[in-house]
A = this chain, B = another copy of it.
Amino acid sequence: MTVTFAKDKRFDLVAIGRACIDLNATEYNRPMEETMTFSKYVGGSPANVAIGSSKLGLKTGFIGKLADDQHGRFIRSYMDGVGVDTSEMITDTEGHKTGLTFTEIKSPEECSILMYRTEVADLFLRPEEVSEAYIAEAKMLLVSGTALAQSPSREAVFQAVDYAKKNNVTIVFELDYRPYTWQSAEETSVYYKWAAEQANLVIGTRDEYDILENQENGDDEETAKALLAHRAELVVIKHGVDGSIAFEEDGTITRAKAYPSNVLKTFGAGDSYASAFLYALVNGKSTQEALQFGGASAAIVVSKHSSSEAMPTVGEIEDLLKQHEQRV
């Protein structure tokens, strides 16, 4: 394993970025126009990863900004409840609202979302609201790409990354690309490149790496080579049902297949993948095992209704992995 983590820290993982509300259609296999009821969950990629890894047993914390309203209070209370430390989730004082994601499940293959991201609270986290002492207590800092989409959240991430580097905290960059609030492909690429060049560990789908490189049909090996020339020690590129590939500094390339699943919807796959993958790494498992953990966790979540609530336990992941071993 090339990615190393500091020992004896208060937190295994501290995530920075958005914690929002998902409103999931309670009826499936129909367009949202015909959906009449929605169930409320905590959502947002870094929040999901924090929740998922906390359920797996990691000590986690969150840096973000919450609306001063019923949705903001629900998010704080839910995350507290699943063991995520919320002491650094600042309450917004300027009337900004919570980001929303309505999900539509027409069929397992046709899922879409409708996002409310205009002037939402999480994008207003300011650099001076990020605590160096808090970051210094973490083994890793998880940065979500969406937090770079606008000022001042963008500068808060710059600040957090600076603190992480100063305090020897492993930086994980989850690309988490959402085509909202970004002004242009060039702007996106500028900040994605910046973040990927600071990170020790980069995780994303092939499509997301293409956004980072502002090109189409990029090549995995070239992508990995470019990032490993900077601070990256491990670059994970995901290819959906075709599995994932990890590239390491020493030249090692590791591949893993995706696990078959009774897919209900595709939402949450990436976040559950990241939770389990990071859980495995920080617990000293091999890259191969970590990729399998990630894949298994994703397979479980896509068969369930929510992204956050559905995050599996270690036992569930290990059961699924065992099942597949036996089949082989």
The chain A residues found within 8 Å of chain B, CB to CB, are 23, 26, 31-33, 35-40, 69-71, 73-74, 77, 97, 100, 102, 104, 114, 116, 118-119, 126-128, 151-152, 155, 158-159, 162, 183-184, 186-187, 189-191, 193-194
What's the nearest-Cβ distance from chain B to residue A43, in Å? 14
Chain B residue with the shortest CB-CB distance to A97: B116
Residues of B within 8 A of A191 (CB): 155, 158
Chain B residue with the shortest CB-CB distance to A40: B36
Known: A158-B190, A187-B127. A71 touches B114 (CB 8 A): yes
Among B40, B69, B128, contact of A186 (Cβ-Cβ < 8 Å): B128
The answer to whether A114 and B190 have CB atoms under 8 Å apart is: no
Number of copies: 4
The answer to whether A33 and B114 have CB atoms under 8 Å apart is: no
Chain B residue with the shortest CB-CB distance to A150: B151
22 contacts between A and B (CB under 8 A): A23-B38, A26-B37, A31-B70, A32-B70, A32-B71, A33-B77, A36-B39, A36-B40, A38-B40, A69-B114, A70-B102, A100-B116, A118-B119, A119-B119, A126-B186, A155-B186, A155-B190, A155-B191, A158-B194, A159-B186, A162-B190, A162-B193
Residues of B within 8 A of A38 (CB): 23, 37-38, 40
The answer to whether B183 and A151 have CB atoms under 8 Å apart is: yes
Tell me which of A33, A104, A119, A127 has the highest count of chain B C-beta atoms within 10 A of its own C-beta.
A33
The answer to whether B127 and A190 have CB atoms under 8 Å apart is: yes
